Amino acid sequence: MNPLGLYIDFPFCIARCAFCAFNVQGYREGISERYRLALHKELAIHDLLDTCNGREVVSLYLGGGTPTLYPPHVVNEIVSSCRSGFRFHASAEITIEAHPATINSANLRGLRESGINRLSMGVQSFSDEYLTLLGRNHTAQEAVDAFNAAREAGFSNIGIDLIYGLPDLLLGEWEKTLQSTIDLDPEHISIYALSIEEGTLFHKKGVALPSEEEQVSQYQLAQKMLFDAGFQQYEISNFAREGYASVHNLLYWNRAETLGIGVSAHSYLNNEHKENTASIPLYCEQVEAGHIPTERTTQVSNEEAATDRIIFGLRKREGITNTDLHSLKKHEQTATVLIKNGLLVAEGDRICLTPRGMLLADQVATAFF
- What is the smallest separation between the CB atom of 128 and ligand SF4, expressed in angstroms? 17
- What is the smallest separation between the CB atom of 22 and ligand SF4, expressed in angstroms? 5
Name every residue whose Cβ is closer than 8 Å to that of residue 177 and which is 6 or more positions away in sequence: 125, 126, 127, 130, 162
- What is the smallest separation between the CB atom of 19 and ligand SF4, expressed in angstroms? 7
Q: Which is nearer to ligand SF4, 20 or 131 (CB)?
A: 20
CA distances for 157 relative to 10, 153, 247, angstroms? 21, 12, 12
Q: Which is nearer to ligand SF4, 23 or 294 (CB)?
A: 23
Using CB under 6 A as the binding criterion, the count of chain residues that bind ligand SF4 stands at 11
Beta bridge partners of 94: 60
- What is the smallest separation between the CB atom of 138 and ligand SF4, expressed in angstroms? 10
Residues 35 and 127: their CA atoms lie apart, in Å, by 35
* Sign, CA torsion 214/216/221/226: positive
Stretch that binds ligand SF4, among 12-20, 82-90, 101-109, 201-209 (CB under 6 A): 12-20
Is the bond preceding residue 65 a cis peptide, omega within 30 degrees? yes
Site string (17-36) toward ligand SF4, x via CB under 6 A: x--x-x-x------------
Stretch that binds ligand SF4, among 15-23, 41-49, 108-116, 151-159 (CB under 6 A): 15-23
Q: Which is nearer to ligand SF4, 122 or 210 (CB)?
A: 122
User: Does the protein bind ligand SF4 through residue 65 (CB under 6 A)?
Assistant: yes
Report 96-115 residues binding ligand SF4 (CB under 6 A). 99
Tell me which residue of 163, 129, 125 sits closest to 144, measured CA to CA.
125
Residues 341 and 241: their CA atoms lie apart, in Å, by 32
Q: Which is nearer to ligand SF4, 22 or 312 (CB)?
A: 22
Which residue spans within the chain are E strands per DSSP?
Answer: 3-10, 12-13, 25-26, 56-64, 87-98, 118-124, 158-164, 188-193, 232-235, 238-240, 257-261, 266-269, 272-276, 294-299, 320-321, 344-347, 350-353
User: Does the protein bind ligand SF4 through residue 66 (CB under 6 A)?
Assistant: yes
- DSSP 3-state assignment of 156? coil
Site string (117-136) toward ligand SF4, x via CB under 6 A: -----x--------------
Q: Which residues bind ligand SF4 (CB under 6 A)?
A: 13, 16-17, 20, 22, 24, 64-66, 99, 122
